Amino acid sequence: MQMATTRERFTDEQNQRALGLVLGAAVGDALGAPFEFGAPGDYRRRFPTPVLGGRGEMIGGGSFGWAPGEFTDDTQMAIALGEALLQHGGYDPDTVWAWFRAWCDTANDVGNQTRWALRHADWRDVPRDTESSAGNGALMRAFPLALAFLDADDDLARDVVLHQAGLTHPDPAAGWGAWLAVAMMRQALRGQDPFDNLEALVDSVPEAQRKDFASVLLSGWTPNDPAPSNGSVWGCLAQAVWAVRSTASFESAIVAAIQLGNDTDTVACVAGALAGARYSVQGIPSRWATYVHGALDAPDGRLVYRMDHLQQFARRLLGGTDRSETPPESPAGPQEVAPWLHAADLLGANDAPTDWAIVSLCRTRDRFANHDIRRQVYLIDESEPERNIGLASAVRDAVDAVDALLAEGRNVIVHCHGGRSRTGLVLKAWAMRTYGYSEREAHSWLADQWYRYADYNDAFVEFLDSDWPSPARP
């Protein structure tokens, strides 16, 4: 079953939603991991208010001693599935099985049903006994299929989702739950409300499984209503859908999912994929996305993934290659533009002391991994609105980070590749909010402070002039 993707068919918006889907799943997984098996409400007891400074809420720990920002078996297994698709050029169960078994050999967190199935050298030898196999393991790993088969017809995409689910989870409900999630993700990737066609989707489920899904997806269900545990496919999908459907941002959706307790990493992983596709990569808080990472063993060795690698993974699943990168310019900065706040380009920021906080607005290729406190915000320096579909969220995130890091007494560097347009956008937004400047006043202020600044991006200027809040002057 070949992947039906050609990168040229996809818009910039769909690419940003694809990055959001993969990063969102990994972020939800990593953020939920410390609270796995915990009680409802544990997250807000630990974090009554958002932690905008430091390393945010990425604390690590939990039952398996995860590092801060480390994703778990949910994302590991999804990556194994996606890499198997990429290796074969489509869905091949033998290739998928080899990747699953290589991962399982050294993984420290494997679901009971999955581990039992992967003890068999050949997937064909796994007994088709459906008893106790409707867990959420096939659902949690399915999100790469939404990308790899985004422009495939529904029948092909559904058949692949159902077959991969059955490799380890023979109960048909496990596969149909995975398909419902992938179908909703595909809608979100196309810019549609992922829940608009939910009734028709549930109606397409065979009668033997339909009632159980309808009872938690179509009935106005809330977590206060009876439902199977979120370790099951029904409970996990119901909670993930509720978390995204009942909130208005990526952050609030993930917090709502984790607040439900028990299998928090998996529910937040599924919710994160849905919410990431819905709000795009620019809707994911940088204090979470910057630190997400993990590793797994593949048939040919160990693979490590950080934020940049996860973005590359998403692009490859869409049929593309990694974006080319403009060579760095000669270093500029750091130049102080306000007390403790500095502007720079990529190489200028690279020379900063490691105890300085870095707010990056371009790709960095892990240049700042030795800076414990950092943020990487997704911004594209293009004037077309569709190139930054979550521009307001991204700018607000960057300015909030600057304020929080300054409040901690840190030197803060804001930089992009050349230190010009994106750096100017964020520093002007900060000055408008801090000093009450208009866009033109912020322009004059920054032009006097930072020689690399440029405002050739009309979309950035218009956004600041029309949509960015500027408090009234005292």
Digit-coded pLDDT (tens) for 317-342: 998 766 667 788 889 999 999 999 99
How far is Cα 87 from Cα 81, in angstroms, rounded to an integer?
Answer: 10
Instruction: Note whether 341 and 404 are within 8 A (CB).
Output: no
Residue (of 258, 306, 290) closest to 56 by Cα position:
290
Classify residue 326: in a domain, yes or no.
no
State the CB neighbour count (10 A cutoff) for residue 329.
15
**159 and 286 housed in the same domain:** yes
User: Which of 286, 317, 348 is a domain's end point?
Assistant: 317
CA-based end-to-end distance of the chain:
65
Classify residue 339: in a domain, yes or no.
yes
For the cut 70, the answer to whether the pLDDT of residue 472 exceeds it is no
Classify residue 456: in a domain, yes or no.
yes
Percentage of the chain surpassing pLDDT 70?
96
* pLDDT digit string, tens, across residues 263-308: 999 999 999 999 999 999 999 999 999 999 999 999 999 999 999 9
User: Which of 317, 346, 379 is a domain's end point?
Assistant: 317
Classify residue 113: in a domain, yes or no.
yes
76 sits in which H/E element: helix 73-88
β partners of residue 343: 335, 414
Burial 81-108 (b: 16+ CB within 10 A, else e): bbbbbbbbebbebebbbbbbbbbbeebe
Classify residue 228: in a domain, yes or no.
yes
Q: Over range 114-134, report the average pLDDT.
A: 86
Per DSSP, 5 falls in state -
DSSP assignments along 191-220, one per residue: TS-TTTTHHHHHHTS-HHHHHHHHHHHSS-
Domain with 207 in it: 7-317
Q: What are phi and psi of 214, to 5 degrees?
A: -60, -35
* pLDDT digit string, tens, across residues 143-158: 999 999 999 999 999 9
Extract the runs of DSSP E, i.e. beta strands, from 234-378.
294-298, 301-305, 335-338, 341-344, 357-360, 374-376
User: Which of 317, 349, 383 is a domain's end point?
Assistant: 317
Per DSSP, 34 falls in state G
CATH number, residue 430: 3.90.190.10
11 sits in which H/E element: none
CATH number, residue 249: 1.10.4080.10
How far is Cα 101 from Cα 246, in angstroms, rounded to an integer?
Answer: 37
**138 and 196 housed in the same domain:** yes
Q: Over range 183-193, report the average pLDDT.
A: 98
Instruction: Note whether 82 and 21 are within 8 A (CB).
Output: no
**373 and 423 housed in the same domain:** yes
**23 and 119 housed in the same domain:** yes
How far is Cα 263 from Cα 235, in angstroms, rounded to an integer?
Answer: 10
Say whether 338 sits in a helix, a strand or coil. Answer: strand
DSSP assignments along 111-138, one per residue: -HHHHHHHTSSSGGGS----TT--BSHH
For the cut 90, the answer to whether the pLDDT of residue 9 exceeds it is no
* pLDDT digit string, tens, across residues 427-437: 999 999 999 99
Say whether 40 sits in a helix, a strand or coil. Answer: coil
**149 and 290 housed in the same domain:** yes
Positive or negative torsion for Cα 170, 261, 242, 71: negative
Say whether 111 sits in a helix, a strand or coil. Answer: coil
How buried is 115 (Cβ within 10 angstroms: 0-12 exposed, 13-18 middle, 19+ buried)?
A: middle
Classify residue 330: in a domain, yes or no.
no
* pLDDT digit string, tens, across residues 232-269: 999 999 999 999 999 999 999 999 999 999 999 999 99
**310 and 369 housed in the same domain:** no
Classify residue 325: in a domain, yes or no.
no
**254 and 341 housed in the same domain:** no
**213 and 342 housed in the same domain:** no
Residue with tokens 């307001």: 392
* Number of independent structural domains in the chain: 2
* pLDDT digit string, tens, across residues 371-417: 999 999 999 999 998 899 999 999 999 999 999 999 999 999 999 99
Q: What is the pLDDT of residue 394?
A: 98
Residue with tokens 């917090």: 255
Q: How far are the Cα atoms of 68, 232, 433, 455, 466 from residue 440, in angstroms, in the given order?
A: 41, 55, 13, 11, 12
**247 and 218 housed in the same domain:** yes
**21 and 102 housed in the same domain:** yes
Classify residue 329: in a domain, yes or no.
no
**353 and 455 housed in the same domain:** yes
Q: What is the pLDDT of residue 300?
A: 96
**419 and 292 housed in the same domain:** no
Residue (of 260, 358, 258) closest to 57 by Cα position:
258
For the cut 50, the answer to whether the pLDDT of residue 473 exceeds it is no
Mean pLDDT (the chain) is 94
Q: What is the pTM of this model?
A: 0.95
